[in-house]
């Protein structure tokens, strides 16, 4: 399918392009704010999923969007339309520590209303499902490897951890990548309206208007936005089991991050700490 391919920018948060729960909404908000020079008043009536429609969900919106359009997807590289695989658009790819991705999975399932009966509700079951790659978008390391090793041109790799540590620097990198020039005041505007506090209380970004999909009495769609929250959920045994499984899967995939391991254990050759 080549019908969605124009020489616009495609923003795919790991996630988010990116795997699920790698900071998708955050990157959607960031890019849309950069496009309007940090002036949130120009987005006051536009929900996140309308600012950057989903390639796999909102095909007609993608086709009708005016240039320069921004599209979101979780699709692995091998399933992207052919022209996009050939580099017809700019891609921002977001990665996040898979342990924190898993925690976000767990909390998302808790608020999701319509879900199959076999969707796990206990953390241990969600962990096992994740390790087995039981996701619509495949196993995490395969998704990341597919994109990072794709040789895709016009490609910007951003990590959730970088966004948490120095958001201003990430915004400026994205601006450079998108050939967008913002003043310091405009960068501050982007930062203000893409903060987790702002997104959590903004009905256009917190999904509170989608009551048919989410039961927000059981938790927030925009949650903590913290790096390393997995430490509040994994037991030592679960963490070690996860590390063993991913040590081999991550071999040869060099991410510019450190994967936290217990001090007594050998440091993993590759990984990410989110």
Residues known to be catalytic? 74
Catalogue all structural domains in the chain, each as residue range(s) with its CATH number: 9-249 (3.40.50.300)
Q: What is the pLDDT of residue 49?
A: 72
Per-10-residue mean pLDDT for the chain, 274 residues long?
50 51 84 90 80 75 75 88 80 91 80 61 88 85 90 89 92 94 95 84 64 57 73 92 87 62 36 30
Q: Which residues pair with 54 in a beta bridge?
A: 72
pTM of the model: 0.80
Q: What is the pLDDT of residue 84?
A: 79
Q: What is the pLDDT of residue 136?
A: 76
Residues in the chain, how many?
274
């Amino acid at each position: 399918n080549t019908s969605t391919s124009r020489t616009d920018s495609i923003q795919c948060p790991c996630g988010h392009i990116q795997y699920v729960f790698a900071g998708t909404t955050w990157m959607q908000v960031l890019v849309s704010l950069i496009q309007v020079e940090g002036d949130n008043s120009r987005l006051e009536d536009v929900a996140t999923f309308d600012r950057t429609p989903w390639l796999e969900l909102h095909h007609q919106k993608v086709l009708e969007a005016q240039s320069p359009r921004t599209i979101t997807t979780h699709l692995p590289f091998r399933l992207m339309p052919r022209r996009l695989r050939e580099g017809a658009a700019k891609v921002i790819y977001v990665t996040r520590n898979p342990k924190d991705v898993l925690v976000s999975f767990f909390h998302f399932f808790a608020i999701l209303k319509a879900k199959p009966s076999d969707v796990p509700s206990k953390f241990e079951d969600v962990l096992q499902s994740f390790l087995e790659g039981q996701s619509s978008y495949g196993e995490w390391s395969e998704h990341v490897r597919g994109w990072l090793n794709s040789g895709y041109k016009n490609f910007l790799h951003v990590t959730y951890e970088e966004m948490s540590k120095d958001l201003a620097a990430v915004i400026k990198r994205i601006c450079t990548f998108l050939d967008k020039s913002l003043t310091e005041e405009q960068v501050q505007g982007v930062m203000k309206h893409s903060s987790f506090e702002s997104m959590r209380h903004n009905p256009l970004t917190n999904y509170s208007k989608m009551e048919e999909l989410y039961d927000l009495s059981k938790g927030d769609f925009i949650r903590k936005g913290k790096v390393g929250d997995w430490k509040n959920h994994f037991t030592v045994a679960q963490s070690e089991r996860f590390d063993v499984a991913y040590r081999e899967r991550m071999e040869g995939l060099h991410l510019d991050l450190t994967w936290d391991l217990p001090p007594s254990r050998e440091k993993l050759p590759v990984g990410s700490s989110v």
